Amino acid sequence: MARRTIDIPDLTGETWLVTGATSGVGLETARAASAHGARVILGVRDTARGGEVAAELPGEARVVAVDLASLDSVRRAAVELGDDDEVIDVLVNNAGAITPTRGETAEGFEMLLGVNLLGPFLLTNLLLPLVRRRVVIVGSNSHQGASFDFDDPHVRRGRWNPASAYARSKLGDMLWGLALDRRLRDGRATAGAPGVDVHLTHPGWAATNISNASGNVLIDRVVTGVCGVFAQPAAQAALTTMYAATRPLPACSYVGPDAMRHLRGMPTLIGRSAEAADPEVAERLWELAERETALTP
């Protein structure tokens, strides 16, 4: 069966920054943006692999080192881009992680919260003066089953498991995206150009390496086999990101696949959990992220 696609406009003259662009949905997003004329900045941890991807893209591309598990790395990347006077039309926060055991970032954050939420939060806020059109945050419908624990966000006291930690971090993405949208629209956030907006996406069930995170070779082999049958290719999953990045959309839209309980299909607007849409919870999450990342003095 031929892969369905969407109409992507001519992106000539635009610059896109895509994090996590060396594999999976991020790689396919970079490929799609480049194929339609955008200059692409690959924000990646593995710069050698990033260089290979840049060389493969049809258009102009550059690599910037950024490890979302280190806020120092995030700050260095932001300084580098600022010093180079980059203009970023679309910032795609795609990079994410899931691990079989609890780990911590360089700052001592629970790893999934740090990589999936706090690193992208800081990167976006530091780069916001450079952004001209849109911020896209790749979330997940796993947020639907989560509730954010503000008393123990790093699960230092409670019981940790990968599925709940991942879902919590993705709920955090939904919440800070909502809070950022409100700040952009009421003038509390200073972006590089008037009219900068933010949208959220859910790629669905994508056949990528992030599914193989159990730490058990046999289980990972089974998951890979199941993904091969039911999951959609990464290029198909990336269409939700491309849709969110290029379409005129209502404020802070959430885009996901239209079929199989939003696990696969074509991009469409989908619903989010009540907690993910709660502006008061979003403000609490924003304040937590500000403190943890030392975004404000």
Query: Does residue 122 fall inside a structural domain?
Result: yes
Query: What's residue 208's pLDDT?
Result: 59
Query: What's residue 209's pLDDT?
Result: 56
Query: Does residue 184 fall inside a structural domain?
Result: yes
What is the tally of structural domains in the chain? Answer: 1
Query: Does residue 2 fall inside a structural domain?
Result: no
Considering the candidates 166, 243, 254, 286, report the single residue annotated as catalytic. Answer: 166
Please state whether beta strands 264-269 and 254-259 pair in parallel, antiparallel, or not at all (unpaired). Answer: antiparallel
Query: Does residue 8 fall inside a structural domain?
Result: no
Query: Does residue 84 fall inside a structural domain?
Result: yes
Sheet of strand 264-269, all strands in order from the earlier edge strand to the far edge: 61-65, 39-44, 15-19, 88-93, 131-138, 197-201, 254-259, 264-269
Ordered per-residue pLDDT tens for the chain, 297 residues: 446 788 999 999 999 999 999 999 999 999 999 999 999 999 999 999 999 999 999 999 999 999 999 999 999 999 999 999 999 999 999 999 999 999 999 999 999 999 999 999 999 999 999 999 999 999 999 999 999 999 999 999 999 999 999 999 999 999 999 999 999 999 998 889 899 999 999 998 876 555 445 454 433 443 344 444 456 998 999 999 999 999 999 999 999 998 877 787 899 999 999 999 999 999 999 999 999 999 875
Q: Is 166 a catalytic residue?
A: yes
Query: What's residue 207's pLDDT?
Result: 60
Query: Does residue 179 fall inside a structural domain?
Result: yes
Query: Does residue 7 fall inside a structural domain?
Result: no
CATH code, 273: 3.40.50.720
The residue type of 276 is A
Query: Does residue 136 fall inside a structural domain?
Result: yes
Q: Which domain holds residue 243?
A: 15-293
